[in-house]
């Protein structure tokens, strides 16, 4: 049974252990995700050169694969990194940014899942539905669907690839193919700031590094995002100031904030 206590316990573990999170991520979010990981207590490495990936994966606690700005070279690096992570038993979180918007994005995401080494998929509802073969609508990298619409698709993916799936939305949905949990909290400013989903993936990567249970890591990672979003909203005047206060909130969030601002419930 997972609860807000699970969220706080894993936030505290991340802060106490400072796990190294290796990210092959997109140009748009490198700086913001690195700052978010630092504020949350983790240690980020951003890299995509194949020549150094094996060494870096050796010291990393987890690997984040984010397909936001794909190129042939980066796809090769992601596949190589995924294979090394599997060989070294390092958990992998996949962010299928824009899956469904183009064949390249969808096929790349599926090929990475087919490798059989992804522990957690974190995406919006349209991306998750597209990977499950459901005809979801997309607006580039934005979702046209609510998280609850993706429940069946998320369960299907989780069962097929034996991983946890986290679906971001006004209410986040987490599943391992059987259990389904909702995370409530956050802020309506979050969809208005570029890269918030990518930050969620990175934070889940940090939690995955300190938690053997990928489902619990997804619950606590998304719970951390919800708490920081709720905390930042109080201090913000709009999306611009929210982005700054959100980084502060990741660093400052307390157990009491988790209790006040986050609801974790089994569906």
Low-confidence stretches of the chain (pLDDT beneath 70): 135-146
Indicate the pTM of the whole model.
Answer: 0.94
CA 248 to CA 47: how far, in whole Å?
Answer: 25
Residue 189: what pLDDT? Answer: 96
pLDDT at residue 141 in the model: 47
Strand pairing category for 263-266 and 180-184? antiparallel
Give the model's pLDDT for residue 139: 52
How much is the pLDDT for 231? 97
The pLDDT value given to residue 1: 79
For 137, residues 6+ apart whose C-beta sits below 8 A from its C-beta are 126, 144, 145
For residue range 74-108, what is the model confidence (pLDDT) as tens digits? Answer: 999 999 999 999 999 999 999 999 999 999 999 99
What distances in angstroms separate CA 117 from CA 70, 179, 263, one per listed residue?
20, 21, 30
pLDDT at 137: 52
């Amino acid at each position: 049974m997972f609860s807000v206590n699970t969220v706080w316990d894993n936030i505290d573990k991340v802060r106490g252990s400072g796990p190294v999170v290796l990210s092959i991520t997109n140009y748009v979010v490198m700086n913001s995700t690195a700052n978010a990981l630092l504020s949350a207590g983790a240690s980020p490495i951003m890299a995509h050169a194949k020549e150094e990936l094996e060494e870096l994966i050796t010291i990393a606690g987890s690997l984040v694969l984010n397909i936001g700005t794909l190129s042939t070279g980066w796809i090769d690096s992601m596949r190589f990194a995924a294979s090394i992570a599997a060989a070294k038993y390092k958990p992998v979180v996949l962010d299928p940014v824009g899956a469904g918007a183009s064949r390249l994005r969808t096929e790349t995401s599926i090929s990475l899942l087919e490798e059989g080494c992804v522990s957690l998929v974190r995406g919006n509802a349209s991306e998750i539905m597209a990977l499950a073969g459901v005809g979801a609508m997309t607006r580039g990298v934005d979702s046209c669907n609510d998280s609850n619409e993706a429940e069946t698709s998320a369960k299907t993916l989780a069962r097929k690839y034996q991983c946890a799936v986290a679906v971001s939305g006004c209410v986040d949905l987490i599943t391992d193919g059987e259990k389904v949990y909702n995370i409530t909290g956050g802020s309506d400013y979050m969809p208005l700031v570029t890269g918030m989903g990518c930050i969620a993936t990175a934070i889940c990567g940090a939690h995955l590094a300190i938690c053997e249970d990928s489902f619990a890591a997804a619950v606590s990672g998304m719970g951390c995002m919800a708490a920081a979003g709720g905390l930042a909203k109080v201090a913000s005047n709009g999306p611009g100031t929210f982005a700054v206060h959100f980084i502060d909130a990741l660093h400052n969030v307390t157990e009491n904030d988790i209790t006040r601002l986050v609801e974790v419930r089994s569906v």
